[in-house]
């Protein structure tokens, strides 16, 4: 736990260098956060463009001339302006719904660089993806394969497919964000992969182009990836002997970030290890990656204002104006997010639970944090760029927060704060009561 009087150590505890203290207050790049909060109110999501670009750069540097397509796992943060940044940088996109595909196209992304994952693709989503010309469908079950074949045939199109294999490896992460174990709903068991590929070859309207897996999220070790890769490489060898040639290998997303004291797995470390294994096998496949969190997680903060300080016999609570409806990760996964005072006080600290106004005991953002606070103080919840706003909801009739993208000394509202009218849009009072 950094000392609150030491502003240097407070600057980037979660590894967010684009958010830093200057003259005793927290900035996003060159913009004082107090200033944004005053103008735009709170709760407020603030993203740094430089942080997005630097996260992207860590992938491009790691690629070192190899044939790698990075498809941003956009479920992590699908604001149009964020997608637009990645589209401009040449990113592809990993999507899991028709809605996400529409966002990609609205933001100027290239559908030819889109991979379509997800266990529950509906007919209309398949039609939209086929008509848009996506790069690949990551197929997760035999019934999905058959449905895709029927839809593509009806449209007179050919669907590029990759089978999402469940390699049954333990990603050593939170059980709710682990996806590559047998008991998870994702993918096709590796033992059944060969027969599924044979079926895919026979079915009309399909073109087999790849293999993929995604074993989980917030992974900080390279070994689960390499275990999964070994299994996929064995499968590829078997497929080749069966006359099934693939064009790409998709290892999914999942690289972790620093929330507290984790040591994240750098893209370069993962990719070097993967390139080495591919070279040993003499394989010249395109590599596809689907990183989400590692591209945006530490590029965002959630700014919130302290409403009340409530001291009870058991605990001290800082009741803030952001709740579990704004940032669900602590309630859902007991996730740890750093909490930074925007203007640190040099007074005595107390140990606070930072909680929201929602009527649920699960509505907390941080527990047992030493903070020197007064009502009206602003706090920044760190590492809120991924799975933050996208998981927000309206519970307790709370309008969703505004979002801002900072670029040097400039900033733009990339989503306005919702109003009461937004909350009730689509609802109707009855004439007959």
Which residues of this protein are in contact with ligand LLP, per CB under 6 A? 73, 75-76, 94, 117, 177, 179, 214, 217-218, 252-255, 290-294, 329, 333, 387
CA distance 211 to 359: 45
For ligand LLP, the closer of residues 166 and 179 by Cβ is 179
| H-run or E-run covering 191 | none
Q: How many residues does the chain have?
A: 433
Q: Which of 303, 264, 328 is nearest to 382 (CA)?
A: 303
Smallest distance from ligand LLP to CB 424, Å: 27
Quote the tokens at residue 390.
């996208």
| Residue 371, helix vs strand vs coil | strand
For ligand LLP, the closer of residues 115 and 203 by Cβ is 115
In sequence order, the 6+-apart residues with CB closer than 8 A to the CB of 430 are none
What is the number of other CB atoms lying within 10 angstroms of the CB of residue 374? 9
Q: Which of 365, 299, 344 is nearest to 6 (CA)?
A: 344
Smallest distance from ligand LLP to CB 117, Å: 4
Residue 245 CA, distance from chain mean position: 31
CB 354 within 8 A of CB 379: yes
* Residue owning tokens 């507290």: 260
Q: Where are the beta strands (DSSP E) in 269-358?
A: 286-289, 300-311, 316-320, 339-341, 350-355
**Which value, in Å, is the radius of gyration of the alpha carbons in the chain?**
23
CA distance 74 to 358: 28
Smallest distance from ligand LLP to CB 433, Å: 40
Smallest distance from ligand LLP to CB 389, Å: 12
Q: Which of 345, 352, 340 is nearest to 384 (CA)?
A: 340
For ligand LLP, the closer of residues 111 and 216 by Cβ is 216
CA distance 74 to 291: 8
Quote the tokens at residue 255.
């690289």
Quote the tokens at residue 357.
């106004």
For ligand LLP, the closer of residues 10 and 249 by Cβ is 249
| H-run or E-run covering 154 | helix 142-155
Smallest distance from ligand LLP to CB 94, Å: 5
DSSP class per residue in 33-81: HHHHHHHH-SSEEEEEHHHHHHHHHHHHHHHTTS-EEEEEEGGG---HH
For ligand LLP, the closer of residues 205 and 254 by Cβ is 254
Active site (catalytic) residues: 359
In sequence order, the 6+-apart residues with CB closer than 8 A to the CB of 369 are 1, 339, 351, 352, 353, 354
For ligand LLP, the closer of residues 37 and 295 by Cβ is 295
For ligand LLP, the closer of residues 30 and 360 by Cβ is 360
For ligand LLP, the closer of residues 73 and 344 by Cβ is 73
CA distance 344 to 10: 9
* Residue owning tokens 């009206």: 376
């Amino acid at each position: 736990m950094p000392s609150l009087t030491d502003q240097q150590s407070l600057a980037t505890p979660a590894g967010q260098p684009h958010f830093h203290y200057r003259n005793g207050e927290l900035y996003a790049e060159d913009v004082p956060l107090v200033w944004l909060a005053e103008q735009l109110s709170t709760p407020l999501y603030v993203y740094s463009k430089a942080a997005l670009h630097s996260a992207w750069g860590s992938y491009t540097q790691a690629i070192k001339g190899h044939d790698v397509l990075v498809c941003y796992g956009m479920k992590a943060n699908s604001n149009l302006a964020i997608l637009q940044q990645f589209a401009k940088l040449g990113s592809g996109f990993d999507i899991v719904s028709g809605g996400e595909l529409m966002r990609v196209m609205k933001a100027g992304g290239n559908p030819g660089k889109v991979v379509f994952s997800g266990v529950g693709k509906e007919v209309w989503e398949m039609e939209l993806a086929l008509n848009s010309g996506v790069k690949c469908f990551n197929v997760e079950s035999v019934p999905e394969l058959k449905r895709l074949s029927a839809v593509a045939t009806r449209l007179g199109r050919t669907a590029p497919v990759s089978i999402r294999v469940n390699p049954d490896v333990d990603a050593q992460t939170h059980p709710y964000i682990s996806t590559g174990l047998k008991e998870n709903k994702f993918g096709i068991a590796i033992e059944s992969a060969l027969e599924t590929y044979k079926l895919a070859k026979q079915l009309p309207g399909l073109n087999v182009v790849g293999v993929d897996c995604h074993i989980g999220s917030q992974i900080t070790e390279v070994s689960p990836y390499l275990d999964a890769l070994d299994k996929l490489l064995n499968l590829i060898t078997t497929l080749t002997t069966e006359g099934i040639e693939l064009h790409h290998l998709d290892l999914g997303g999942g690289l972790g970030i620093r929330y507290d004291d984790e040591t994240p797995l750098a893209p370069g470390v993962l990719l070097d290890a993967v390139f080495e294994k591919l070279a040993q096998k003499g394989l010249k496949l395109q590599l596809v990656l689907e990183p989400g969190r590692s591209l945006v997680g530490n590029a965002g903060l959630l700014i919130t204002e302290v409403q009340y300080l409530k001291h009870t016999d058991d605990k001290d609570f800082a009741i803030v104006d952001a709740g579990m409806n704004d940032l669900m990760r602590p309630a859902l996964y007991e996730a740890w997010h750093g909490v930074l005072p925007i203007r640190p006080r040099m007074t005595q600290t107390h140990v606070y639970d930072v909680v929201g106004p929602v009527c649920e005991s699960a509505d907390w953002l941080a527990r047992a944090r030493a903070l020197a606070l007064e009502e009206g103080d602003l706090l920044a919840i760190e590492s809120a760029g991924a799975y933050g706003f996208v998981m927000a909801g309206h519970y307790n009739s709370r309008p969703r927060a505004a979002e801002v993208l900072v670029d040097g000394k400039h900033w733009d509202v990339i989503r306005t704060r919702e109003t009461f009218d937004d909350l009730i849009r689509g609802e109707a009072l009855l004439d007959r009561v």
